[in-house]
Amino acid sequence: MQSFRTELENPIVEKDIIDLEKKIRLFREGQIPDEKFRSLRLARGIYGQRQPGVQMIRIKLPFGKMTFAGWKRIADISDEYATSNLHLTTRQDVQIHFVSLDRTPELWAKLEEENITIREACGNTVRNITASDVAGIDPLEPFDVTPYAHAAFKYFLRNPICQDMGRKFKIAFSSSEKDTAFTFIHDIGVIPKVKFENGKEIRGFKVLLGGGLGAQPMLAYVAHEFLQADKLIPYIENVLRVFDRHGERASRHKARLKFLIQKIGLEEFNRLVEAETLALKNHAVEVDYEAWPTPELPTVGTPVPSYSIKNPLRYELWKQTNVFEQKQQGYFGAYIKITLGDISSHASRELIERLRPVVADDIRVTVNQGLLLKYIRPQYLPYVYSVLESLNLGNHGFDSVADVTACPGTDTCNLGISSSTGIAEVLEGVVEEEFPELLLNTDIKIKISGCMNSCGQHSMATIGFHGSSLKSGGRTVPALQVCLGGGVVGDGIGRVSEKVIKIPSKRGPQALRVLLKDYQGNAQTSERYYQYFDRQGEKYFYELLKPLTDLGSITDEELIDWGKEEKFATAIGVGECAGVVIDLVQTLLYEAEEKLQWAEQNLEEGTYADGIYNIYSAFVQAAKALLLGEGVNCNTQSGIIRDFDKHFTAQGKQDLFPDFAEVVLQINSHVPDASFGWSYIQQAKSFYSWASVYYAQKKAADIAAVVPA
């Protein structure tokens, strides 16, 4: 592949992209091991698909915001590099699929021309920071959380403390106590609060900690009922530091923050968080919310082309379910219901061109895979609908029981067990055709995931399904695990759905009919579904659906998954393979050296806290390398530091420092200034030099022991 160059205004971004191109070349040449390269590309939004040799690119949109120019750029890039489709995700990202790895640096550079990044959209990093799509226009909000979400995004992007954690980290900002960003399922979730002291309004947040879905969903703890706004980012940094040092690294299934808190207890976790305070880059981060720009609004009296509405009744239904009045008097927000979150690049450009005159230049991707248009004057609503109708995007029932959320499942994901997208469309059809009265119901949420990992958020669904399989007479049947009773209560309180029963996938529509008819026939007036579920009990629903589990009557059709033609078989997609034998210890030492180079640059630039954290990471990385070389399994960073003293210092193999842990953990006992930074890096350089010599000598001795004289 040819060497790649770009011309961007931001030299940090340009360097990052050129570095990616270099690492891809080294990977192709077999000089970077597959596992290491996987980690590197994931942190740059490049995700291996189920199909070998192609990538999914995740485009990181903080709080789901797109400008018209940014949206068009993404659409154009999907045409040039992918499949002319934009997939909107539950984390307010946009994904494009079937991209060549070698073209990703060029793709990234073109995105960055519109200030759009793929950096840290995947991998063991702080993922896209989500927020209520109505933030800034929500009639219920105490204040607009958007400037705070943006500040957090900027603060942690490329931040050394969260580049290579044990697992991903998710943050969400809800606009009000309605909690439309689902704070209770996030590592950190925040809800805006205000209080008054001496007649002055003080902004702050209720902070939720340690939530998550996945195979073992857990609801978040309340960390703070009210944390003053300028303390929020430092608090998040403290938590990330603790997670990085003490979080699980050996077992991926136990590596989320929720498991660390479960293991050591909330009290001990809070103590560790407090212990990080001295080392923080900033003890307060003020957000100038007054300077946050108002979106460019449509001009009053803007003329629009002639138009007609084909179905006036559906227009009225659309207004009833998809349109709401903003807190800004005289303006309306309008949702676009996007089936399965998939919108073509052609439809995107049509919407941009035709709606630009009457909609604010601030479009939001929603957490249920739709789009929100803002600042529409009432006289333009008919025109907006006519545009949507002409593109088959005028469906009503946004966020209703008929608005099914689904992850890509076996279409592209390596982890998918059975189809989630195929059945999602069928279930939407069941509601629209057989239960049209429920199109106004926004209490019941149907969510589908292709596996138990809950990317489709089935674990918090009112009615949820996740992909699975069943055995029948030696045959494998695509199946759905039915989960019921989850949802949002409000103000950080949520519910995890309960696994009730497993049924063949092709019986999913029948299960939905049974559940909806039962609810309609037996629920009390104004009884929410989760309340009905609690009243009836899990056993009631098990017995209700049990007739659908009979495998004695399995048909040939039921052996074929939704949207497929061949008989079902559980399989994991094939990823990339470098096909070379690698020296993992030496690779880790190279990484330690690279972190020291970054640290020196940080110190020279005066970004001392960043430099000091890179130094700390270099210490840990080099120690981990030598421990692995001795056959010692490595888990948490704190465990690596402890084990190095046990296996090296105590046994006299390392005499550079009498107490390795004491040297490394100086990071928590010094203010991050120039004096400490330069002293700390000299110690780290000495340690790295010693470690390199030690490993070279050991490697030579090992070779000599097996090679005949």
222, 211 contact by CB (below 8 A)? no
How does DSSP assign 333-397, residue by residue? EEEE--GGGEEEHHHHHHHHHHHTTTS-S-EEE-TTS-EEEEEE-GGGHHHHHHHHHHTT-----
Mean pLDDT in residue range 85-93: 96
User: What is the distance between the terminal CA atoms of the chain, rounded to a whole angstrom?
Assistant: 43
| Nearest-angstrom CA–CA distance, 290 and 201 | 14
Q: From the centroid of its chain, how far is CA 585? A: 31
pLDDT for the residue numbered 626: 95
pLDDT for the residue numbered 111: 96
Structure confidence at residue 355 as a pLDDT band (50, 70, 90): very high
pLDDT tens digit sequence for 169-225: 999 999 999 999 999 999 999 999 999 999 999 999 999 999 999 889 999 999 999
Mean pLDDT in residue range 290-314: 90
pLDDT for the residue numbered 572: 46
Mean pLDDT in residue range 141-162: 97
pLDDT of 576 higher than 80? no
Q: How many CB atoms lie within 10 A of CB 289?
A: 15
| Nearest-angstrom CA–CA distance, 224 and 204 | 10
Q: From the centroid of its chain, how far is CA 483? A: 22
Question: Which one, of 86, 676, 75, 647, lies nearest residue 369 by Cα?
Answer: 86
63, 146 contact by CB (below 8 A)? yes
Q: How many CB atoms lie within 10 A of CB 509?
A: 16
- For the chain, which domains are there? 11-112 (3.90.480.20), 130-291 (3.30.413.10), 312-390 (3.90.480.10), 405-559 (3.30.413.10), 584-706 (1.20.120.330)
pTM of full prediction above 0.85: yes
Q: Which residue did the predictor score with more confidence, 563 or 591?
A: 591
**Mean pLDDT computed over every residue of the chain:** 92
Q: Which residue did the predictor score with more confidence, 205 or 166?
A: 205
Structure confidence at residue 450 as a pLDDT band (50, 70, 90): confident
| Secondary structure (3-state) at 161 | helix
pLDDT for the residue numbered 98: 95
168, 127 contact by CB (below 8 A)? yes
130, 173 contact by CB (below 8 A)? yes
87, 80 contact by CB (below 8 A)? no
Structure confidence at residue 568 as a pLDDT band (50, 70, 90): confident
74, 112 contact by CB (below 8 A)? no
pLDDT for the residue numbered 51: 84
Q: How many CB atoms lie within 10 A of CB 696?
A: 12
pLDDT of 232 higher than 80? yes
Least confident of 72-86, 306-320, 460-474: 460-474
pLDDT for the residue numbered 1: 44
Structure confidence at residue 581 as a pLDDT band (50, 70, 90): very low
pLDDT tens digit sequence for 488-519: 999 999 999 999 999 999 999 999 999 999 99
* Tokens, residue 336: 């676009």
pLDDT for the residue numbered 575: 32
pLDDT of 577 higher than 90? no
pLDDT tens digit sequence for 234-289: 999 999 999 999 999 888 889 999 999 999 999 999 999 999 999 999 999 999 99
Q: Which residue did the predictor score with more confidence, 4 or 427?
A: 427
Which residues are CB-neighbours of 321 under 8 A, at least 6 positions away?
396, 397, 398, 400, 439, 440
Which residues are CB-neighbours of 445 under 8 A, at least 6 positions away?
368, 399, 401, 403, 405, 461, 462, 463, 487
Q: Please report, as a single letter, which amino acid is at residue 264.
A: I
H or E segment and range at residue 188: strand 188-197
| Nearest-angstrom CA–CA distance, 387 and 130 | 28
Q: Which residue did the predictor score with more confidence, 490 or 701?
A: 490
pLDDT for the residue numbered 618: 96
- C-alpha distance from residue 513 to each of 135, 431, 463, 544 (Å): 35, 8, 12, 11
pLDDT for the residue numbered 447: 94
pLDDT of 612 higher than 60? yes
H or E segment and range at residue 21: helix 11-28
